Amino acid sequence: MEKDAGANLGILILLSDRSLAEELSLTAAPALPPFEIAIWQDIDELKRISGTAGAAISVFDIAAQAEPDQLNGSKWLRCMIPEIDIVAVIDSESHDSALKALQHGANHFSRRENLSEVLGSVILERARLGKHQRKAASTDYGIYTRSRALLDLIADVCAVAESRCHILFHGPTGAGKELFARTVHKHSNRCHGPFVALNCAAVPAEMIEAELFGFSKGAFTGAMFSNVGLFRTADKGTLFLDEIGDLPLGLQRKLLRVIDTGEVRPVGSNEVIQVDVRVVSATHRDIAQMVLSGNFRDDLFFRIAGAEFSIPPLCDHPEDIPVLANCFLSELSVDDSIQARYFSEQALRFLQQCKWPGNVRELKNFVEYCSAISRSTVIDEVLVNKLFKGEKTYSSLVDVLRTFEFEHLAYLLKLTGGKVEEVSKLIGKSRSSTYRLLSSVGIDPTQYRQ
């Protein structure tokens, strides 16, 4: 059935063809999990609908000579929602239509008469994977992931966010510790209060106390006015102390007292001010080892670590690199009002084989670089290889391309039922050349014949 675009649903199917919507409503198997249909007429409406609801599946009809809006809409969805399933209705006799569908982001194909059956299997698969796995999780602060471990971490963080305990995040630089801290704030009962952040490593040691607790006019040389400090600014909200492992040892005792009592005394003042602040901390250091070596107070450690979470480096969840890369591109197109771009499959596979010691932050910076340099809608592997200056986990680019070639050929054989002649037309090679190519990557086409 058709839906109100603002409704909250499980599986949402996007269609631009009203007749297809009517057919699906009549022919869908009753045993399927619940789904709803949203019909869009132009790109602006598609953006509005997909922005207010969790779009899971899109269907467009190449067999009916799809309008430019349908094709552009499909490419836009693949760019903006990388995890979406896109079903192309194609003419089984036309190899050009299948190739066109691939170029516009389709990952499922069906003839019109079989659409209900194909769509049913896609719906069942998405329902089987469950709601956390169906989509790349995205919080309001940009945590994009398909990783099972990270999805579980997000769920645990959101659960603890509802409590009153202070939280400590461990993780390497650039892994997204502040994004998790903002997620804690968003999901807590303090969400309507302020979120205030301080990087302890970025403030001179002699100034951190005044920055945190405030100061009165004339408290020290240069104090021409009074300042309330970050604890008072964060009252009834959350204070995020990034790189708390860099906090001077002498200040740790004062921080502990404020956390314990909720009382702040500004520098140069005898006034005691009551505050209600939740402290979320983060560090890339081994705080437990610092406690043993005497560089961090054990009582402060136990206080700030009411709950502890470790955020993994990007190398531990490389499956998220394609999601992150295209999502960052999408954000750029919205923020900078530039043409929407996306990475080719080859480029994404190349990025997955690169080392990212700076983690998500480094990847995001590289994506911005690619977007600034590229003059095409599609950022291909040639440009990515040219711009990337770091190390790769694969021994050579040949290994990356060979892996992609194998998986792409296997996918086309599955699509065509193992018919090499049809695969050769899809890739623009002769039948004999296709057989040689299949042999070179170790694929036996007879295993795909139906």
Q: What pLDDT score does 253 carry? A: 94
34 lies in the same domain as 75: yes
How many degrees, rounded to 5, is the angle at CA 152 between CA 288 and CA 329?
Answer: 100
Q: What pLDDT score does 244 carry? A: 96
In a domain, 201, yes or no: yes
Q: What is the CATH number of the domain that holds 325?
A: 1.10.8.60
User: Mean of the pLDDT values across residues 194-201?
Assistant: 94
245 lies in the same domain as 277: yes
pLDDT of residue 221 exceeding 70, the answer is no
Confidence of residue 415 (pLDDT cuts 50, 70, 90): confident
Q: What pLDDT score does 3 carry? A: 41
User: Mean of the pLDDT values across residues 106-133?
Assistant: 71
How many degrees, rounded to 5, is the angle at CA 144 between CA 138 and CA 148?
Answer: 100
287 lies in the same domain as 405: no
Q: Rounded to an integer, what distance in angstroms lies between the CA atom of residue 415 and that of residue 29? A: 24
Q: Which helix (H) or strand (E) holds 35?
A: strand 35-39
In a domain, 128, yes or no: yes
Confidence of residue 393 (pLDDT cuts 50, 70, 90): low
Q: What pLDDT score does 333 carry? A: 65
Q: What is the CATH number of the domain that holds 97?
A: 3.40.50.2300
> Which of 257, 288, 312 is the last residue before a domain boundary?
312
Structural domains counted in the chain: 4
Q: Over the stretch 65-90, which tens digit does the pLDDT of each residue have? A: 555 666 677 777 766 676 678 888 87
105 vs 145, higher pLDDT: 145
Look at 102-116, 129-143, 388-402 and tell me which has the smallest mean pLDDT. 129-143
pLDDT of residue 396 exceeding 60, the answer is no
Spatial neighbors of 122 by CB under 8 A, at least 6 apart, are: 57, 85, 87, 108
The CA–CA distances, whole Å, from 427 to 166, 317, 343, 400, 449 equal: 57, 31, 20, 19, 18
Q: What pLDDT score does 99 carry? A: 64
Q: Over the stretch 421-448, which tens digit does the pLDDT of each residue have? A: 888 888 888 888 888 787 666 676 776 7
123 lies in the same domain as 106: yes
Q: What pLDDT score does 412 carry? A: 84
287 vs 413, higher pLDDT: 287
Using CA of residue 87, residue 90, residue 96, residue 98, what is the dihedral sign?
A: positive
271 lies in the same domain as 356: no
Which range of 34-43, 133-142, 172-181, 326-335 scores highest in mean pLDDT? It is: 172-181
In a domain, 5, yes or no: no
332 lies in the same domain as 361: yes
> 290 and 240 in contact (C-beta within 8 Å)?
no
175 lies in the same domain as 128: no
Domain that holds residue 208: 144-312
User: Mean of the pLDDT values across residues 11-26?
Assistant: 74
Q: What pLDDT score does 450 carry? A: 63
Q: Over the stretch 248-265, which tens digit does the pLDDT of each residue have? A: 998 999 999 999 999 999
Using CA of residue 140, residue 365, residue 332, residue 15, what is the dihedral sign?
A: negative
Q: What is the CATH number of the domain that holds 280?
A: 3.40.50.300
In a domain, 139, yes or no: no
288 lies in the same domain as 320: no
pLDDT of residue 167 exceeding 60, the answer is yes
User: Mean of the pLDDT values across residues 184-202?
Assistant: 92
Look at 76-80, 314-318, 408-412 and tell me which has the smallest mean pLDDT. 76-80
325 lies in the same domain as 228: no
Q: Which helix (H) or strand (E) holds 78?
A: helix 68-80
User: Mean of the pLDDT values across residues 129-139?
Assistant: 45
Confidence of residue 117 (pLDDT cuts 50, 70, 90): confident
Average pLDDT of the chain to the nearest whole number: 79
In a domain, 81, yes or no: yes
Nearest to 416 by CA among 147, 42, 99: 99
> Which of 132, 164, 193 is the last residue before a domain boundary?
132
Look at 182-191, 220-229, 304-313, 333-342 and tell me which has the smallest mean pLDDT. 333-342
In a domain, 73, yes or no: yes
pLDDT of residue 152 exceeding 80, the answer is yes
252 lies in the same domain as 274: yes
Q: Which helix (H) or strand (E) holds 420?
A: helix 420-427
77 lies in the same domain as 198: no
In a domain, 357, yes or no: yes
Confidence of residue 400 (pLDDT cuts 50, 70, 90): low
Confidence of residue 215 (pLDDT cuts 50, 70, 90): confident
56 lies in the same domain as 70: yes
In a domain, 137, yes or no: no
Confidence of residue 28 (pLDDT cuts 50, 70, 90): low
Q: Over the stretch 43-58, which tens digit does the pLDDT of each residue have? A: 777 767 765 555 578 8
311 vs 409, higher pLDDT: 311
> Which of 354, 387, 420 is the last residue before a domain boundary?
387
Q: Over the stretch 276-298, which tens digit does the pLDDT of each residue have? A: 999 999 999 999 999 999 999 99
